[in-house]
């Protein structure tokens, strides 16, 4: 795994992370999937805290090697032509985090039906969550619109993540 950006390194260290940290990962995570390296390095850590952020509320992340409680990953994986694996919870467990086989990091709200992209690669996505930068929502083919940050997003909105 590449080193984290300097902007969040101290948050990671305070949570117990070090560059040589390695913890076991369950067999549910394929060795070749990016979730393997993420959970081996960060599994079991709670990083950051909820509070004011740069564009929206900054969040915390609880990295854990456990199946999603929402069960949205298979449906969204089909839409995205990838494999999604849950890597933990975010924002005081009000959302779940997923990483796909390409290394993109997504989130799903446990409060309302919305799925969103935190970043196209791991560390920028984690930095976005911890520092409070807005995610890009996705609209499922069965949805007419989604709401995130109190704003409505309709098909064709340039603020959506296009897949």
List of E strands, 54-144: 61-63, 84-90, 95-100, 105-109, 115-119, 136-138
pLDDT at residue 1 greater than cutoff 90: no
Position 2 scores a pLDDT of 87
Phi, psi of 131 (to 5 degrees): -100, -5
Q: Is 97 exposed, middle or buried (0-12, 13-18, 19+ CB in 10 A)?
A: buried
Percent of the chain's residues with pLDDT above 70 = 100
DSSP per-residue codes, 2-20: PPPPHHHHHHHHHTT--TT
Position 122 scores a pLDDT of 98
pLDDT at residue 31 greater than cutoff 90: yes
Q: Locate 68 and state its tokens.
A: 């999603």
Nearest alpha carbon to residue 106 among 120, 91, 94, 92 = 120
Position 56 scores a pLDDT of 97
Classify 51 as helix, strand or coil: strand
Percent of the chain's residues with pLDDT above 90 = 99
Taking the model in full, what pTM does it have? 0.96
- Each residue's pLDDT tens digit, 104-131: 999 999 999 999 999 999 999 999 999 9
Give the DSSP H or E segment for 146.
Answer: strand 145-148
Give the sign of the dihedral formed by CA 9, CA 10, CA 15, CA 18: positive
* Residue 89, number of CB atoms within 10 A of its CB: 23
- Each residue's pLDDT tens digit, 34-79: 999 999 999 999 999 999 999 999 999 999 999 999 999 999 999 9
């Amino acid at each position: 795994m590449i080193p984290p950006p300097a902007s969040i390194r101290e948050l990671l260290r305070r949570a117990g992370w070090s560059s040589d940290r390695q913890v076991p990962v369950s067999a549910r995570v394929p060795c070749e999937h990016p979730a393997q390296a993420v959970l081996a390095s960060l599994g079991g850590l709670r990083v950051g805290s909820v509070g004011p952020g740069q564009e929206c509320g900054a969040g915390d992340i609880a990295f854990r090697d456990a199946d999603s409680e929402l069960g949205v990953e298979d449906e969204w994986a089909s839409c995205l032509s990838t494999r999604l694996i849950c890597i933990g919870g975010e924002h005081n467990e009000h959302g779940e985090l997923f990483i796909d086989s390409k290394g993109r990091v997504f989130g799903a709200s446990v409060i309302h039906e919305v799925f969103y992209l935190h970043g196209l690669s791991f560390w920028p996505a984690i930095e976005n969550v911890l520092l409070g930068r807005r995610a890009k929502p996705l609209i499922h083919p069965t949805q007419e619109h989604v709401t995130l940050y109190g704003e409505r997003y309709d098909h064709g909105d340039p603020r959506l993540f296009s897949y």
